[in-house]
Amino acid sequence: MAETKRIFTFLLRFIAFCTTLSAVIIMISSRQRATVLVFSFEAKYSDTPAFKYFVIVNAIVSIYGFLVLFLPSKSLLWRLVVALDAVFTILLTSSISAALAIAYVGEKGNPIAGWLPICDQVTKYCNQVKGALIVGFISVVLYMLLFLYSLHTVLNPLLLEKS
């Protein structure tokens, strides 16, 4: 019973690490050169601070996820993992919501502010950013599950005691 639980959480953490890493990679590699009228410009992820924040937060969380994978199961650092899970889950939700807000403006525009949507000019960039956001959303869901599971193990001391 404890063995299957350990394998399941390890698998979940591994998948969560993979999703955050791929969100970073997809977002970083999204760039497209477009020509509008006479001048050409390049759309990169680093134009927008929200996407930069998304990349930074997902990079930090993937490093954390990678390190936690190697934690031996009897170590006392699991209590710290519980607290860090909380912090990183909250960071992830904030990063995905910020990136989603800016991506929505990029897709639909904001007529009152006079902001035109840019997605029809740089379609490939837009689609890649959408893909990165979808993967980021999956990672948020997975980290929420992991965090709720850690919370459950903390509040039910039977699982943390060495038995």
How many of the other CB atoms lie within 10 Å of CB of 12? 15
CB of 139 to other proteins, least distance (A): 14
C-beta of 25 vs 86, nearer to other proteins: 86
The CA-CA-CA angle for residues 127, 131, 132, to 5°, reads: 120
The dihedral sign for the CA sequence 129, 132, 137, 140: negative
* Intra-chain end-to-end CA distance of the chain, in Å: 13
C-beta of 49 vs 69, nearer to other proteins: 49
CB of 25 to other proteins, least distance (A): 22
Please give the Cα distance from 31 to 100 (Å, whole number). 18
C-beta of 70 vs 147, nearer to other proteins: 147
C-beta of 109 vs 131, nearer to other proteins: 109
DSSP letter at 44 equals E
CB of 72 to other proteins, least distance (A): 18
From 12, 120, 133, 14, select the one nearest 67 (Cα to Cα). 14
Provide the binding-site residues for other proteins, judged by CB under 8 A.
1, 5, 41, 43, 47-50, 53, 86, 89-91, 93-98, 100-102, 104-106, 110-116, 118, 144, 147-148, 151-152, 155-161
C-beta of 1 vs 70, nearer to other proteins: 1
CB of 62 to other proteins, least distance (A): 19
CB of 24 to other proteins, least distance (A): 18
Please state, in angstroms and as integers, the Cα–Cα distance from residue 76 to each residue in 72, 82, 86, 133, 159, following that order.
9, 11, 17, 35, 13
